[in-house]
Structure 1
Amino acid sequence: MRRKVILAVLLVAIGLVGVRHAFAGQAPAAASDPDIPIGHQDRVYSAEQYSNTVSVTDPVDNRLVGTIRLGDSLPANLSPLYKGQLLVHGMGFSPDHRTIAVVAVGSNAVNFIDTATNSVKHVTYLGRSPHEAFYTMDGKEVWVTVRGENYVSVLDGTTYEEKGRIVVPNGPGMTSFSPDGKYGYVCSSFTPETEVVTVADHRIVGRVPQASPFCPNIAATPDSKQVWFTLKDTGKTQVFDAQPPFTLLKTLDTGPITNHVNIVRNAKGMFAYVTIGGLNEIKVFRTDDFEQVATIPVGKLPHGIWPSGDGTRVYVGLENEDKVAVIDTLTNQVIATSPVGQAPQALVYVPDAVPAMSGGLNEAMTRMTVAPEGLGTNNLQPLGIAGQSTELSLVPPGANKEAKAPTSVSLSDQGLVQILEAAVTGLEPGKPYLLALASEPSGTGVLEPLQGFMTNPAGAAVVNAIGPIRQLVRSEDKAPRRYLVILPGTPGTHGTPVQIQKE
C-alpha cells in the first residue's frame, strides 16, 4: 500500500496524471503555461567571458556537472590562427528547451549547443560585437542584437542562417519578446531609445525613451503587460507598458552598475529581481505598484539572473566571485552557491533541458531523486584553470576593517598572467581616474599605472587590466610586493589615493 502511495505522489509531482500546477508561467513563457517543478533534468547555464566556457549546474543539489569549453585562455586566444570563441557572454534558449544559443562577443559568433549532448551543433558568425540572442516564442527565428552596429540579425530557428536584418538605432543591447508572441522589445546600449518591433513583419511600431544610453538587459512580464529594462550607466531601472502605445510607467533609482532584470511569479505575486553589481545585492520590486519589497546581499558583482521553472528559486551569476548564488523567492534568502567559470555574464535556467529516462516511474525518479549516473554529462569538462581566481577589495584610506568595500576586484587566472576586473563604485561621476600599483600599503610611494578610466554618471566603472598582478599583490615571488590603488586624474597628472587595497 505504501509503495502505491509513493508512486502516486511521484506521478502527480511530474504531471503524469494531468494535475494542474498551483502557479503558472515563468520567464520567458506566458502566464498561462504550466510551471515545472525543479528536477534533475533541469540545467542552469552560465556564460563566462574570461575562461570562454559555459558552466552547467544541476539545480536539485546545486552541483556543477561540468563545463562546455568554447575557447582558450590567454595567450592562446591572441594567435592570428585562433579558431575558438572569445568573450563568451550572452545566452538564450529554444522554446523546446533542447538548444541554447551562446554569444561570443569577441569572435562575433552565436554557438548553438544541444542540451542533451552538450555539443556545439552549429556556429553562426555575424557583425561586430553581437551581445544577446533569443528565440521568438514560436521558435522560428533567433534575434541577435549586433551591438557594435545598428541592427538585429534575424536567424532561421532551424538552419541558424541569417535571413534578414532589422535596422535600429546604433548599439542594440538585447531583445525580449512579449510572451503572446506579438512584439520584440530592443533596448540600446549606445542610443537612449528602446524600439518595439512586430515579430510577424519586423516593423518598428513603437519607441520608448531611455533615461540614458546604456541598457544591457530587458525582460517582459509573463502576462505580456509590462517590460522592464536596466540602465548600467546611470543605475536606473525603467518600466513601460508592453502594449500600445508603450507608455513609460516608472523609473526606479536602483544603484551603481545595475546589470540584469528578470521576472518571478510565486505564491506571493509577481516580482522583478534586479542585480545591482556595484552594491553586491539584488533588489526586488512588486510589478503591480513598483514597491521595493526586499534587498538581498548575494556576493560580488551580481550579473545574470533567471528563475527556476516553478518560480521558487532564482539563480544569479556572481561575476567577481565565479559562483552562482541560489535564492529562495519566498524568503528572499541565499540558500546555496556553486562554482562556475571566470566572470559569469548571462545566465539561464532551462527546465527539462536533459531528456529523461524513458517510462513514467523512471521519469519521476529522474526529476525527484538522485540523478542517474551520467545523466546529461556528455562532452563536459572539469573547471581546470577556469576555476582559479583571486578576490580583492578596495576601500577609502582610513576605513575600518568592517567597512563595506565600494570596489571589488577579481583576478582570473590565465596561466602566468591574470585578467583583472574591478567593479568600481563610490567615486565622483564623470571624472577621470587611474588604477595603479603602489609600492606602499597606503597607496603612496612608487606608482605603476595599470589602466586609466572615466566614471559613469553613477560614479562607477568596470575596469580591466592584464598582467602578472596576483604575484605582485600577493607577494608570491621574491619581487617587492605592490598594492592596488585608485587615484583621481591620469597617468601624467594625478592626485592622492581615494581607494586602496583592503588587507
Structure 2
Amino acid sequence: MKPLSILAALLVAGAPAAFAGQVPASLSAPDIAVSHRDRVYAAEQFSNTVSVTDPADNRLVGVIRLGDPSPGNFSPLYRGQVLVHGMGFSPDHRTIAVVSIGSNSVSFIDTQTNAVKHVTYVGRAPHEAFFTPDGKEVWVTVRGENYIAVLDGKTYAEKTRIVVPNGPGMQIFSPDGKYGYVCSSFNPEIDVVTVADHRIVGRVRQASPFCPNIAATPDGRQVWFTLKDTGKTQVFEARPPFALLKTLDTGPITNHVNIVRNANGMFAYVTVGGLNQLKVFRTDDFSQVATISLGSLPHGIWPSGDGTRVYVGLENADALAAIDTLTNRVIATVPIGQAPQAVTYVPDAVPEGDGTQNLQPLGIAGQTAHLAMVSTASAAAGPAGAAGAGGSGNPPTTVALFDQGLLQVLQASATGLEPRQPYVLGLADNPDGSGSIESLATFMTNPAGSAIVNAIGQIRQIVAPGEANPNDRRRYLIIAPRVDGKPGVPVQVQAL
C-alpha cells in the first residue's frame, strides 16, 4: 500500500489550490491562474476599437480596429462598425462576440489571431451578446426592439427570436445552462427564459426601468443586476420562484456588476460611475465590505480566471484599472481606447505564440483631454472647496474630449443635479459662467440627478505657445438649468 499512499500524496500536492470557479462558469470549474496566455478585452465606443491587454504584466498588447473615428464613419457607404459597446466570449475561450450599437452588428473575433472571422447583423441597437454555457447558441439583446436574437453558436446565423418586453438590456445564463436572465432598459421587468425551449418561465420586478447589466453567481443561487437611472443594485433568487432578495442603494450612474470568489468568500463588485468608485458587497449577507476609488466613470468589469483580480474599464479616463481582490487595491492602470464600455477577461485566450497578429497601436485613440466641473459654490470658495459635491474629493461632473481627428466627441458624466430636470451643457464667456452661453447639448437628469451627456463638433482648439491669435476667444464649460428653452444661471462651472 505504500506506493499507493505516495501516489495519492503526489496527486494531492499537484492538484490546484482551489476549485472556486469564476463567472460565467460554475463552482466546479477549476480556477485558472493569471498568465501571459490570458487576455483582457475592452469594447471602446468612440474609437470603435477593442483593446487587448496582457494581465500578467498589465500591458496593452494593441487594439483591434473595427471601425473609424468620426466623421469618416458618417459616409452612407461606410462598411466598418460604429459604437463598439458590448462583449461576451465562448465557453472554449477561443472567440469573443463584440456588439456595435450604431451598426447593429455582432463581430466574432478569434482570440488567438485577433482576426474578425464573421459579422452578423441583427435588429436596431443591440446591446450585449453572450454564448450559452454549452456554446450552441449566442443570445443578443436587441435593445432598440423587443426581442433576443438567437444565433447559431457555430455558423453565427440568426436562427430564431425570443420576444420579450421592449428594450432588453442584457442577458446572462445560470452556470448549469438551464436559464437565461434578461433584464430590460425600457421596462421594469426581468424575464427568466429556459434555454432548452426559449420559453419565459419567470418574471422579476425591477425597481426602475433602466437595467444595463446583470450577473449570475457561480453557485447558481443568485442573480445581481444594476439600475443606472436610480442608482440601485438588486438581487434575486436564481431558481424558482425567482424571489427578490435585496435592493441596495449603490449610487448615481450605477453601471456594471460582476461576481468574484476568492479565499475571503464570494463578492459582488459594482461600478458606480457618478462616484468614480467600485463598491464591494458580500453575497451571503449583502453587507458592503469595501469602497475603491477609481478614475473617471468606471463602467465594465470582469474577474480573472482565479478571482484574484478584477478589471474595470474607466469610460472617461480611457484606461483599464486592475484591482487585487484580496486587498481591494488598484495595482495597475493601463491606457486603452476611447470610452471603454463592456470588459471581459478570457483565461487561456492565446494558447501559443505572442497573440499580436492583426493588432494596431492606439494611435489617435489615445489622444483625449480630461476636464472636471464643480458647483458654482465650490468654485467661488476657491481650490479648498473644489472637491465639489461628488463625494470623497471627486468633482460632481467629469468631462472627456475624445479626439477624432477633425472633430472631438465630448462626454460629460454629470451628477449633483436636481432629479428629472432639464439642463444645458454649454460654453460661457467667463470662468464663473457669466456672459453669453452657447449650448452644446440639452439633457434631462435621471431620478438620481445624473446624466451621461454627449456632443460632437470642433469643440476644442489646441494652440501652441506663440501661435495664439489675438482674435481667439477662450470659453469655459458650464451646466445650467434650462428655463423657457434657454440656459439659466449656471450651477456647475469648469474647474481651473
TM-score with structure 2 setting the length = 0.93
Q: 1:67, 1:383 within 8 Å by CA — same for their partners in 2? A: yes
- More off after superposition, 489-498 vs 418-427: 489-498
The reply on whether 1:448 has 2:438 as its aligned counterpart is yes
Work out whether residues 276 and 283 of structure 1, in 8 Å CA contact, stay in contact via their aligned partners in 2: yes
Deviation at 1:269, TM superposition (A): 0.1
Aligned to 2:352: 356
Question: In the alignment, what sits opposite 1:337?
Answer: 333
Give the partner amino acid of 2:326: L
The answer to whether residue 310 in structure 2 is matched with residue 314 in structure 1 is: yes
**Cα distance between partner residues in 2 of 1:29 and 1:298:** 27
Q: Which residue of 2 aligns with 1:50?
A: 46
Matched residue SS, 1:386: helix
Aligned partner letter, 2:376:
P
1:500 is aligned to 2:493: yes
> For residues 311 and 225 of structure 1, what CA distance do their matches in structure 2 show?
18
% same residue: 73
| Number of the residue aligned with 2:4 | none
In the alignment, is residue 468 of structure 1 matched against residue 447 of structure 2? Answer: no
1:470, CA displacement in angstroms? 2.4
The letter of the residue matching 2:60 is L
Query: Residue 473 and residue 459 in structure 1: after superposition, are their counterparts in 2 closer, same or farther (change >3 A)?
Result: farther
Question: Match of 2:487, SS?
Answer: coil
1:196-235 aligned at under 5 Å gives the runs 196-235=192-231
Q: Secondary structure at the match of 2:162?
A: strand
Distance 1:304 1:477, change over 3 A: farther
Separation in 1 of the partners of 2:358 and 2:337? 16
8 Å CA contact 2:71, 2:406 repeated in 1: no
Cα distance between partner residues in 1 of 2:284 and 2:244: 14
- Corresponding residue for residue 265 of structure 2: 269
Is the 2:19–2:29 Cα contact (8 Å) retained in structure 1?
no
2:368 to 389, 400, 406: 389
CA distance in 2, matches of 1:244, 1:58: 40
Deviations 1:325-362 (A, max 9, x none): 000001101110001100000000000000236xxxxx
Q: Is the 8 A contact 2:437 2:487 kept in 1?
A: no
Q: How does 1:42-81 map to 2 (within 5 A)?
A: 42-81=38-77
Find the aligned partners of 2:64 and 2:342 in 1 and give their Cα distance. 15
- Letter aligned with residue 292 of structure 2: I
Cα RMSD for the two superposed structures: 1.7
Deviation >6 Å, runs of 4+: 472-476
Tell me which residue corresponds to 1:244. 240
1:10-409 aligned at under 5 Å gives the runs: 19-356=15-352, 375-399=354-378, 400-401=382-383, 402-403=386-387, 404-409=394-399
Q: CA separation in 2, counterparts of 1:138 and 1:474?
A: 57
The CA distance in 1 between the partners of 2:418 and 2:287, in whole Å, is 29
Check the 8 A contact 2:36/2:54 in 1, yes or no.
yes
Instruction: Name whichever of 481-490 and 312-321 sits farther off.
Output: 481-490
Alpha-carbon deviations, 1:369-419, whole Å to 9, x = none? xxxxxx000000000001110000000113142413100000000012100
In structure 2, how many angstroms separate the alpha carbons of the residues matched to 1:23 and 1:286? 19
* 1:385 alignment partner, SS class: helix
Q: Distance in 1 between matches of 2:149 and 2:120?
A: 11
Shift of 1:260: 0.1
2:478 alignment partner, one of 481, 485, 495: 485
Deviation digits for residues 237-286 of structure 1, max 9, x if unmatched?
00000000000000000000000000000000000000000000011000
Specify whether residues 418 and 490 from structure 1 end up closer, same or farther in structure 2 by C-alpha distance, changes over 3 A only: farther
The structure 1 residue matched to 2:403, chosen from 409, 413, 425, is 413
Amino acid at match of 1:244: P
Asked whether the 8 Å contact 1:151–1:166 carries over to 2, the reply is yes
Task: Count matched residues.
Answer: 473
Post-superposition offset of 1:495: 1.9
CA distance in 1, matches of 2:420, 2:482: 12
Alignment partners' CA distance in 2, 1:95 and 1:160: 15
Distance change (3 Å), C-alpha of 1:184 and 1:376: same
- C-alpha distance in structure 1 between counterparts of 2:368 and 2:484, whole Å: 27
1:154-194 deviation digits (Å, cap 9, x = unpaired): 00000000010000000000001000111000000000000
Q: For each residue in 1:10-68, what CA deviation from the matched residue of structure 2 results, as whole angstroms up to 9, or x when unmatched?
A: xx9xx999513324211111011000000000000000000000000000110000000
Find the aligned partners of 1:497 and 1:472 in 2 and give their Cα distance: 25
1:464 and 1:157 map into 2 onto residues whose CA distance is 35
> Secondary structure of 1:181's match?
coil
Aligned-residue offset at 1:489: 1.0
SS at match of 2:365: helix
Query: Partners in 2 of 1:405 and 1:474 — Cα distance?
Result: 28
The aligned counterpart of 1:3 is: none
Provide closer, same or farther for how the CA distance between residues 176 and 477 of structure 1 changes in structure 2, counting only shifts above 3 A. farther
Contact 2:416–2:449 under 8 Å retained in 1: yes
Residue by residue over 1:89-134, the C-alpha shift from the partner in whole angstroms, topping out at 9 and shown as x without a partner, is 0000000000000000000000000000000000000000000000
Contact 1:472–1:482 (CA<8 Å) still a contact in 2? no
Conserved 8 A contact 1:26-1:310: yes
Would you say the 8 A contact 2:19–2:28 is kept in 1? no
Secondary structure of 1:471 counterpart: coil
Give secondary structure in 1 for the equivalent of 2:245: strand
Deviation at 1:472, TM superposition (A): 7.6
In structure 1, what is the Cα distance between the partners aligned to 2:464 and 2:18?
Answer: 53
Cα distance in 1 between the residues matched to 2:175 and 2:461: 50
TM (norm. structure 1) is 0.92
Q: Hey, what's the Cα distance between the residues in 2 that align with 1:49 and 1:211?
A: 28
Contact 1:473-1:484 within 8 A present in 2 as well: no
**Which residue matches 1:7?**
none
How far apart, in 2, do the equivalents of 1:207 and 1:453 lie? 32
Cα gap change, 1:159 to 1:17, in 2 (>3 Å): farther
SS of 1:470's partner is coil
